[in-house]
Structure 1
Amino acid sequence: MQNLIQHYLKPFFYLLILPNFFLFSVAIYLGIGRSPVNLDYLFASLFVYSRVPIIGYIVFLVFFLLDILALLVQVFTFAKLDHLVYLSSFLPNAPAAYQMATLASMLWLVLFMVNAVKLKKHTSLTQALVLFNLALGAFGLYVYSADSDNTDKVWRVQHAPLVSSPTLHTLKHRSTLFYQYFYDDGEIFDKFIPPSATQVNNARFYQSGSEKLLLIINESWGVAKDEHINAQLIRPIIQLDHYVKNLHSGQINFLGATVAGELRELCQLSPNHFNLKDAANGFENCIPNKLKRQGYATTAFHAASGVMYDRIYWYAKAGFDNSRFFENLNWTRRCYSYPGGCDLELINKVIADVAQPGKRFTYWLTLNSHAIYDERDIVIDQFDCAQFSVDVRSQTCRNLKLQAQFFYILAKKIAEEKLVGVKVLIVSDHAPVITNKTEMEQYFIENKVNWLSFEILTKLDSY
Structure 2
Amino acid sequence: MIFAAHFPLFTRTARLIKQYLPLRLWLLLALYLLLSNGFFWLAHIWVHGQRYVIVLEYVWILPLLCLRRRWSLILFTIAYTGIYIFDILYWVKQFYHYDNLAEFIELLHFIPQAPKLYWQFIALFVCNLILSLFLILKFVVRLASVKMIVPIALLYLVFSVFFYDYRGTDLSDRYQTVGWWGSYYEVIKNRRFNMEFFWLGTIKPDFYDWPHGGVLQKQIDMQLPPKKILFVLNESWGVFIPDHGSINASVVAPLLDVANVQMLAQGENPALHNTTTGEIRELCDLKAKSMNFMLGPFDKFKQCVPNKLRQQGYEVQSFHAAFAKMYNRKDWYPYMGLKNAYFYPKFSNIQHCHSFPGACDFNVIHDISAANKSAKDKSFIYWLTLNTHHPYSEHDILNYAYDCKQPLFEGRQEACRNLNLQHQFFKILADEIKAGGFKDTDIVVVGDHSPPIMFDKYKDSFKPDSVPFIHVRVH
TM-score, structure 1 length as denominator? 0.83
Deviation of 1:231 after TM superposition, in Å, equals 1.5
Residue number among 256, 265, 274 corresponding to 1:248 in the alignment: 265
Corresponding residue SS for 1:284: helix
* Matched-pair contact (CA < 8 Å) for 1:336–1:368: yes
Residue number among 245, 252, 256 corresponding to 1:234 in the alignment: 252
What's the counterpart of residue 335 of structure 1? Answer: 353
* Matched-pair contact (CA < 8 Å) for 1:385–1:392: no
What's the counterpart of residue 121 of structure 1? Answer: 142
* Matched-pair contact (CA < 8 Å) for 1:183–1:274: no
Deviation of 1:428 after TM superposition, in Å, equals 1.0
Deviation of 1:137 after TM superposition, in Å, equals 6.7
Cα distance change of structure 1 residues 299 and 138 upon mapping to structure 2, 3 Å threshold: farther
Residue number among 21, 34, 37 corresponding to 1:20 in the alignment: 37
Aligned: 1:66 with 2:58: no
* Matched-pair contact (CA < 8 Å) for 1:373–1:399: yes
What's the counterpart of residue 104 of structure 2? Answer: 80
Cα distance change of structure 1 residues 275 and 118 upon mapping to structure 2, 3 Å threshold: same
Cα distance change of structure 1 residues 80 and 172 upon mapping to structure 2, 3 Å threshold: same
C-alpha distance in structure 2 between counterparts of 1:305 and 1:141, whole Å: 56
What's the counterpart of residue 363 of structure 1? Answer: 382
Deviation of 1:338 after TM superposition, in Å, equals 3.5
Deviation of 1:440 after TM superposition, in Å, equals 4.2
Cα distance change of structure 1 residues 107 and 449 upon mapping to structure 2, 3 Å threshold: closer
C-alpha distance in structure 2 between counterparts of 1:101 and 1:425, whole Å: 36
C-alpha distance in structure 2 between counterparts of 1:108 and 1:232, whole Å: 44
Aligned: 1:315 with 2:336: no
C-alpha distance in structure 1 between counterparts of 2:31 and 2:366, whole Å: 55
C-alpha distance in structure 2 between counterparts of 1:108 and 1:13, whole Å: 18
Cα distance change of structure 1 residues 437 and 122 upon mapping to structure 2, 3 Å threshold: closer
Residue number among 302, 309, 324 corresponding to 1:291 in the alignment: 309
Q: How does 1:162-241 map to 2 (within 5 A)?
A: 162-166=180-184, 169=187, 177-178=196-197, 183-185=202-204, 187-190=206-209, 192-203=210-221, 207-225=223-241, 226=243, 227-241=245-259
Deviation of 1:136 after TM superposition, in Å, equals 7.2
Residue number among 48, 51, 65 corresponding to 2:65 in the alignment: 48
* Matched-pair contact (CA < 8 Å) for 1:181–1:274: no
C-alpha distance in structure 2 between counterparts of 1:137 and 1:408, whole Å: 63
Q: How many residues align structurally?
A: 445
C-alpha distance in structure 1 between counterparts of 2:83 and 2:439, whole Å: 57
Corresponding residue SS for 1:364: strand
* Matched-pair contact (CA < 8 Å) for 1:371–1:432: yes
Q: How does 1:414-429 map to 2 (within 5 A)?
A: 414-429=433-448
C-alpha distance in structure 2 between counterparts of 1:178 and 1:38, whole Å: 18
Deviation of 1:189 after TM superposition, in Å, equals 0.7
Deviation of 1:90 after TM superposition, in Å, equals 5.2
Residue number among 458, 461, 465 corresponding to 1:439 in the alignment: 458
Corresponding residue SS for 2:93: helix
Gaps of 5+ in 1: 458-463
* Matched-pair contact (CA < 8 Å) for 1:297–1:321: no
Aligned: 1:38 with 2:45: no
C-alpha distance in structure 1 between counterparts of 2:161 and 2:45, whole Å: 24
Which region of structure 1 is more displaced relative to structure 2, 176-185 or 345-354? 176-185
Could you say what the CA RMSD is over the residues aligned between the two structures, in angstroms?
3.4
Gaps of 5+ in 2: 1-13
Aligned: 1:325 with 2:325: no
Paired residue type of 2:104: K
The structure that has the greater radius of gyration is: 2
C-alpha distance in structure 2 between counterparts of 1:74 and 1:343, whole Å: 28
Residues 67-89 of structure 1 show CA distances to partners (whole Å, capped at 9, x for unaligned) of 222222332223531432422x3
Residues 189-221 of structure 1 show CA distances to partners (whole Å, capped at 9, x for unaligned) of 14x532332233123xx5554332110011221
What's the counterpart of residue 27 of structure 2? Answer: 10
Deviation of 1:46 after TM superposition, in Å, equals 2.9
Deviation of 1:344 after TM superposition, in Å, equals 2.5
Residues 353-372 of structure 1 show CA distances to partners (whole Å, capped at 9, x for unaligned) of 33332222111111222233
Deviation of 1:258 after TM superposition, in Å, equals 2.5
Corresponding residue SS for 2:319: strand
Corresponding residue SS for 1:355: helix
C-alpha distance in structure 1 between counterparts of 2:126 and 2:52, whole Å: 21
TM-score, structure 2 length as denominator? 0.81
Deviation of 1:133 after TM superposition, in Å, equals 6.2
Deviation of 1:309 after TM superposition, in Å, equals 4.0
Cα distance change of structure 1 residues 236 and 171 upon mapping to structure 2, 3 Å threshold: same
Paired residue type of 1:276: F
Cα distance change of structure 1 residues 264 and 76 upon mapping to structure 2, 3 Å threshold: same
C-alpha distance in structure 2 between counterparts of 1:285 and 1:407, whole Å: 30
* Matched-pair contact (CA < 8 Å) for 2:320–2:384: yes
Deviation of 1:406 after TM superposition, in Å, equals 0.8
What's the counterpart of residue 132 of structure 2? Answer: 112
Cα distance change of structure 1 residues 121 and 431 upon mapping to structure 2, 3 Å threshold: closer
| Identical columns (%) | 27
Paired residue type of 1:291: L
Corresponding residue SS for 2:473: strand
Which region of structure 1 is more displaced relative to structure 2, 283-292 or 209-218? 209-218
